[in-house]
Structure 1
Amino acid sequence: MYSRLKIAKELLHAKGVIFLSIDDNEFSQLKMLCDEIFDENNNVANFCIIRAEGGGMAKQVIKGHDYCLVYAKDIFSFSPLAKEKDIRGKIVEKDKIKYWIQEDWLRKEFGKYGNCHYEEVLQYKGEKVKKEIDEGLKNGEYVLIPKSNGMNIVGKLRRLDKDSSKFYSILKHLNKSGANELKELKVEFDYPKPSSLIKELVSGATFFSDRKEAIVLDFFAGSGTTGHAVMQLNKEDGGNRKYILCTNNENNICEEVTYQRLKNIQEELPHNLKYYKTEFIPKFSNDEESISEKMMEHIRELIELEYAIEIDGKKYIVLNDEEELDEAISKIENDGKLFVRSGIFLSRSNQRILEEKGVSIIEIPEYYFREELKEVGEL
């Protein structure tokens, strides 16, 4: 766990955050480990997650909760976890941005005259405040809301995606909700987390508009709840978050549970979905095939993963053989990408044609395996 968390810290964005779910048995050990790796000053929260309620079979105390430790990479760069404010005013849309109208913002200013009527501003607050409000009405910061008494209340426009509430340290998300979700998706898995929990946490870390393109990594993917939650959240708030899920394939969990779940939600939540298997290539072997040739056998998946594309032979082409060059140049579409195996020579005329088409040329496998090939003397 120590080495895995060290790597996780390196992968974290400077403004990033990590969530770690744990039960009573290992809470203290994990807390000390995280304090050492991430620094206790970067501890954002220790959530108590209520996961069950009602009776149980325990002889002593029924355990109905887990914990979620939260650490920022740098607490000074990290924006606090935020959630949607409990809105009590009317919601309006202006220039495709949603606002809510706060009607009571002048209440403190008016004291006992708490109705905040525009017509009374000059009388009770003077010309300076009246001028400020008129300027706000002119630039769209304020609006007038007619009331039944014939007067108007001054409402203040507040952006929904900029206005937030803080998190409370106790969250309630029952495990049975997660089990019911998988049942509906016809996938079997023991003790899945409810997507509502992951969605609340991811939403909290990416609430503001400049965070809605975050990459969410889960290296204990299990039943794929994180991927499901991220796509639900994108649909709800128009975000463009991406997820990466990692798991072993013990008992075929990756193929039959994680992948299958995300495949089954494609109609409801369509998105790009692929899974990849990792494989190790020995540095030295008795085979005549070079390391470079072996790596080329797996290059397609790396390209698709990095660029989030499908090698389709039109917009994106992998060129393994010089004899295929002319055909590739004629077939490739404008603004495409041509991944060229090292050793294949492109003439000036070839390069000019590709340049006119706006095609990017990327040399492989050096782009992905430069250091590895240097290590075995093939570069």
Structure 2
Amino acid sequence: MPTLEFKGKQHIYAHHLTVPYRPLEPDKTRSCNPTDTDDNLIIHGDNLHALKALLPRYANRIKCIYIDPPYNTGNEGWVYNDNVNSPVMQQWLTENAPVDNEDLERHDKWLCMMWPRLHLLKELLSDDGIIFISIDDNEVHHLRMLMDEILGDENFLADIIWQHRYGRSNNAKLFSNQREHVIAYRKSDAVSHIRVKRNEELNETYSNPDNDPRGSWVSASYVNPATKEQRPNLVYPLTNPYTGESVNHPTHAWKYSQSTHEKHVTKDRLWWGLDGNLRYPRLKNFLSESEEKGIVPIDLMLADIAGTTDEGTKQLQTVFQSAALEFNNPKPTRLIANLIGIAEGVSRKNDTIVLDSFAGSGTTAHAVLDLNREDGGNRKFILIECEDYADTITAERVRRVINGVPDARDNALREGLGGSFTYCTLGKPIEIETMLTGEALPSYAALAANLLYTTSGASIGADTVGAKNEDGLFHSDDENDYYLLYKPDLEWLRSNAAILNLERAERIRDASRDTGRKAIVYAAGNYIGQRELTQMGIIFCQLPDALHER
């Protein structure tokens, strides 16, 4: 498969693996009706670090990812500031910042920015999940090649065209652009079938001229495009039940085998007209059956269906009750709702976790809350925003739509959509250099969650982790029991209590014999030889080395 080469790729190729783990720190004062451990999240911080922080809990769990990264038009003035450990890279980045139209290497920098983030998003995406990326013509060709390399070209689903504006711009010199791209990829072939809900416009094409008790229907031709010579096995006489006449097509075969046709007759699925005056029958397809099955999505989202950027601006101004509020090209909630609908068209469930790591004005959360209100779903959102407006615009918008906007015309928005979220910032990195020096000691739960993910790739919520017994058991799976001897206390970590000794090892051995599982023990040190540990069925991982095993 062809790959895309760009300046800096060799330096950032594995950068996502070196990003330090920084635990999420809830901020109750900025949260809104926070509930439990499975709350919606709004995270203020660098999205590269925030995505890494989500891995211990959300790896392989996100069903729908939507991101709206910088389009790199040359007019945005975004800054690439990832802390890549390469002097050559650092010099290159500082020479031209911010990235603008004068930067002849802006495409390389954009690709360097996207590469590690897409790798982490891939780890978070579930096997039956879909990622959607909004982009325009400036980077769509580069993005496709990047996604082909990271997710595989066999997992490309669609280049969805979104009509983001109605009218043409007479300020354009060559062409007036009316559409953007939404690139869609799956994680794996677990996404093999997508059916979305029908809309009212499609339902209006159904009618019931013969008062069929099964409800409204549409009909489809019974005549095959293939000729009799091409499909001789589909040639047989039909009988018009109104006239009793034998019916044959002069040149073409029927669409269905004779045995299937007989089932259609038995189930009264053929439409010959109100008085039997149709020359050939048509097959009835009932609305009730179509609603149950859903319809296949198409790669075109017109403004009438998905909204426009003007609509997104008006929604934002309505929420903030300010016509003067300016935010560049906010997406409309209808666009995001349609994309979520496609992701949910795989499993037909409305409990999707939706992640947006370029959250901007918070449209994704607004869309999720709208959908939950509409159908009683239990969808969750995770927003990440690095800019200073994460609290004043991103989170504030969500607070307002949850609690209600007094002057809104829409009844639901005026009353409030309900819901909650926990506002988080990023804690200090868990690093080898500071781990046992007393600097930035992580909590037991944060360290345990990170160790589990680093060792096994399993995800678990840090806020649900705790030592279940005196020996530090904090998690079990089919094969292993996981133990962590740790307290965020430097004196304790330097004491014998933090060491795996024979007495504790024997208790762990006995527990493992009862469960039939191996024991993995994380501790600052141990007093037992490797041979004895092996005989006991214990795998010892010394802190902080265990942080870098995977």
Please tell me the root mean square deviation across aligned C-alpha atoms, in Å.
4.8
Distance 1:285 1:202, change over 3 A: same
Moved over 4 A (4+): 105-109, 118-125, 128-137, 153-157, 289-296, 338-345, 363-367, 369-375
Q: Aligned runs of 1:88-99 on 2, under 5 Å?
A: 88-89=205-206
Residue of 367, 374, 383 corresponding to 1:236? 374
C-alpha contact 2:351 2:380 (8 A) present in aligned 1: yes
Q: Paired residue for 2:310?
A: 176
Between the aligned partners of 1:366 and 1:260, the Cα distance in structure 2 is: 41
Between the aligned partners of 2:361 and 2:522, the Cα distance in structure 1 is: 34
Distance 1:103 1:197, change over 3 A: closer
Query: Deviation digits for residues 241-265 of structure 1, max 9, x if unmatched?
Result: 22211222x22x2211111111111
Q: TM-score by structure 1 length?
A: 0.63
C-alpha contact 1:84 1:163 (8 A) present in aligned 2: yes
Q: TM-score by structure 2 length?
A: 0.45
Q: Paired residue for 1:101?
A: 216
Q: Paired residue for 1:352?
A: none
Between the aligned partners of 1:366 and 1:155, the Cα distance in structure 2 is: 68
SS of equivalent to 1:185: helix
Residue of 136, 144, 149 corresponding to 1:23? 136
Aligned-partner residue type, residue 278 of structure 1 = L
Q: Paired residue for 1:197?
A: 335
Residue of 44, 48, 64 corresponding to 2:178? 64
2:372 is the alignment partner of 1:255? no
Q: Aligned runs of 1:291-306 on 2, under 5 Å?
A: 291-292=442-443
Larger radius of gyration: 2
C-alpha contact 1:101 1:155 (8 A) present in aligned 2: no
C-alpha contact 1:161 1:209 (8 A) present in aligned 2: no
Q: Aligned runs of 1:12-161 on 2, under 5 Å?
A: 12-52=125-165, 53-75=167-189, 77-80=191-194, 82-84=196-198, 86-87=202-203, 88-89=205-206, 101-102=216-217, 104=219, 120=242, 132=263, 157=286, 158-161=289-292
Distance 1:123 1:199, change over 3 A: same
Distance 1:100 1:175, change over 3 A: farther
C-alpha contact 1:81 1:166 (8 A) present in aligned 2: yes
C-alpha contact 2:195 2:295 (8 A) present in aligned 1: no
The answer to which structure, 1 or 2, has the higher relative contact order (CA under 8 A, 6+ apart) is: 2
Between the aligned partners of 1:366 and 1:254, the Cα distance in structure 2 is: 37
Between the aligned partners of 1:280 and 1:66, the Cα distance in structure 2 is: 38
C-alpha contact 1:206 1:214 (8 A) present in aligned 2: yes
Q: Paired residue for 1:217?
A: 355
Distance 1:81 1:67, change over 3 A: farther
Q: Paired residue for 1:167?
A: 298
Give the drift of 1:133: 6.8
Distance 1:294 1:159, change over 3 A: closer
Between the aligned partners of 2:364 and 2:336, the Cα distance in structure 1 is: 6
Q: Paired residue for 2:419?
A: 271
Between the aligned partners of 1:165 and 1:155, the Cα distance in structure 2 is: 19
Give the drift of 1:178: 0.3
C-alpha contact 2:207 2:218 (8 A) present in aligned 1: no
Give the drift of 1:14: 1.4
Report sequence identity in percent: 26
Between the aligned partners of 1:121 and 1:132, the Cα distance in structure 2 is: 20
SS of equivalent to 1:275: strand
Distance 1:232 1:78, change over 3 A: farther
Give the drift of 1:18: 0.7
Between the aligned partners of 1:103 and 1:238, the Cα distance in structure 2 is: 30
C-alpha contact 1:102 1:156 (8 A) present in aligned 2: yes
Give the drift of 1:280: 1.8
Query: Deviation digits for residues 72-93 of structure 1, max 9, x if unmatched?
Result: 11246332363526123369xx
Q: Paired residue for 1:331?
A: none
Aligned length: 305
Distance 1:291 1:39, change over 3 A: closer
Aligned-partner residue type, residue 315 of structure 2 = E
Give the drift of 1:375: 5.3
SS of equivalent to 1:166: coil
Structure 1 stretches of 5 or more lacking a match?
92-98, 110-117, 299-305, 309-317, 319-337, 346-362
Q: Paired residue for 2:72?
A: none
Aligned-partner residue type, residue 543 of structure 2 = V
